[in-house]
Copies of this chain bind each other. A is one copy, B any other.
Amino acid sequence: MIEKSAVLIAVGDELILGLKKEANAYWLSRELVLHGYDVVALEVIGDDEEVLVDLLNRWAGKVTLIVISGGLGPTHDDRTREALAKFLNLPLVRDDEAYDQIIARYPLESRENLERSREKQASMPKGARPINNPLGSALGFAITVKETEIFALPGVPEEFKAMAKHLLDSLEKEALLHFALCKVIGWPEVQLKDRIADIVQRYPANIMFLPEPNVVTVAIRGPERLVSSLKIEIRGILENDVLPEGVDNLEEAIINLASKLDINIAFAESCTGGMVGESITKVPGASSVFVGSAVCYSNQAKETVLGVPKEVIEKNGAVSEECALAMARGAANLFETDCSASITGIAGPSGGSLHKPVGTVCFAVTCLQNHRTWTRHLQGDREMIRLWSNNIALEAVWRELKKLDGKRRSEGSN
């Protein structure tokens, strides 16, 4: 038996058929790691009693924790209860008291339906402990077998999370493994690996690279002291390019810094189609700095809405740094902001030319008196090019704000 080890099992035909991405086990996996657990496997299986019994036979007695997501609902293809009973060679018995508590939460008119599901949803293998479901009607349960704690929770994401959080609370807090993330902006993964190669060579098992468009997350894990010293070392080297601790993404970094500097922001978007505005407004409280974004997909709209001069487009094309600059200035003007950024490019799959192939994207950023324009040639499909464009524009805004912050700080200290 591996101490503090876990296997997570997600049950559902829709998961195995590629129709729905499994999310419960993924989420819990990370949470368990943060609680010091060694997650040995995530297993995604269909609504298949036999396969589940087989898995339970395989893992019970080998890991300390098994959490099953799904298969507890009222329909015939929900087989988790039956599989556990079969595996344990125990009968299913109803826990009417626990089910009554659940039913009591529902309005009278729904209770008839819930009564019809009682036989199924109130049942659990003899000796199992019921786990209350605060959001739905399927009862969860826990049972200990060969020193393995087995939890069966419903697969509805909100219900699973609420009940799993309860489980996490009950786990001892003392974590064996610690975890730190450094989110590095604007570095290609290969160059970043070279830059911190000596650290990685010293502690290869403790450092992982997770690339996303224009952002590489360096994940550090291990005992607390090691994680903390590695983190300081890596942050030291990449000082100008790493997001502040506790900040999850560029959007949050921008909002925090712009709030502090009292700078407001607008965007002008063409090929990203609104993605930049959408990203920044993912963060609650974006309204303190974000005023708006003008998504101008047609050239006509670039002219009439953003005031890009017709000649600029005629002479340079809509995908040009000149057009990008006019768009950014137009957005700052339209939304009356201190700072703005624009994106205009060819996301494909069609629309490219020899001179401007698919992936050509022009950017501009303005911040108070400053402005900057540049062009990137991006790889990948339409969605990838848009994501890169989004993150490159956000990076530029972040760097302008950092510059301004530095300037104000040095003025303040003079």
A301 interfacial contact with B, CB 8 Å:
yes
A174 interfacial contact with B, CB 8 Å:
no
A292 touches B287 (CB 8 A): no
A250-281 CB mask vs B (1 if < 8 Å, else 0) is 00000000000000000101011111111111
Given A16-B29, A30-B19, A291-B301, the answer on whether A44 and B41 have CB atoms closer than 8 Å is: yes
Say which residue of B13, B210, B293 sits within 8 Å of A14 (CB atoms): B210
Contacts of A205 in B (CB 8 A): 77
Bound: A394/B347 CA distance, A: 22
Contacts of A40 in B (CB 8 A): 16, 45-46, 48, 51
A46 touches B51 (CB 8 A): no
A204 interfacial contact with B, CB 8 Å:
yes
Contacts of A106 in B (CB 8 A): none
B14 touches A33 (CB 8 A): no
Given A44-B44, A274-B274, the answer on whether A292 and B281 have CB atoms closer than 8 Å is: no
CB-nearest residue of chain B relative to A293?
B295
Interchain nearest-CB distance for A8 vs B (Å): 9
Flag the segment in A20-28, A81-89, A115-123, A162-170 that touches B.
A20-28
B219 touches A19 (CB 8 A): yes
CB-nearest residue of chain B relative to A39?
B16
Bound: A219/B271 CA distance, A: 33
A240 interfacial contact with B, CB 8 Å:
no
Q: What is the interface of chain A mostly: helix, strand, loop, or mixed?
A: mixed
A101 interfacial contact with B, CB 8 Å:
no
Contacts of A274 in B (CB 8 A): 269, 273-279, 281, 293, 295
A36-53 CB mask vs B (1 if < 8 Å, else 0) is 000111111110100100
A17 interfacial contact with B, CB 8 Å:
yes
Bound: A277/B210 CA distance, A: 29
Bound: A279/B383 CA distance, A: 11
A31 interfacial contact with B, CB 8 Å:
yes
Chain multiplicity (copies): 2
Contacts of A386 in B (CB 8 A): 281
Say which residue of B43, B58, B208, B279 sits within 8 Å of A19 (CB atoms): B208
Residues of A with Cβ closer than 8 Å to B?
A: 13-22, 26-31, 33, 39-46, 48, 51, 55, 58, 75-77, 204-205, 208, 210, 217, 219, 221, 267, 269, 271-282, 284-287, 290-298, 300-301, 304-305, 334-336, 348-350, 382-383, 386
A18 touches B14 (CB 8 A): no
Say which residue of B42, B267, B301 sits within 8 Å of A335 (CB atoms): B301
Bound: A301/B294 CA distance, A: 11
Contacts of A349 in B (CB 8 A): 284
Say which residue of B77, B204, B291, B295 sits within 8 Å of A292 (CB atoms): B295
Contacts of A292 in B (CB 8 A): 294-298, 301, 305
Given A17-B39, A33-B17, A217-B19, the answer on whether A278 and B281 have CB atoms closer than 8 Å is: no
Bound: A287/B271 CA distance, A: 10
5 nearest CB pairs, A to B: A18-B30, A273-B281, A274-B277, A274-B274, A293-B295
Contacts of A210 in B (CB 8 A): 14, 19-20
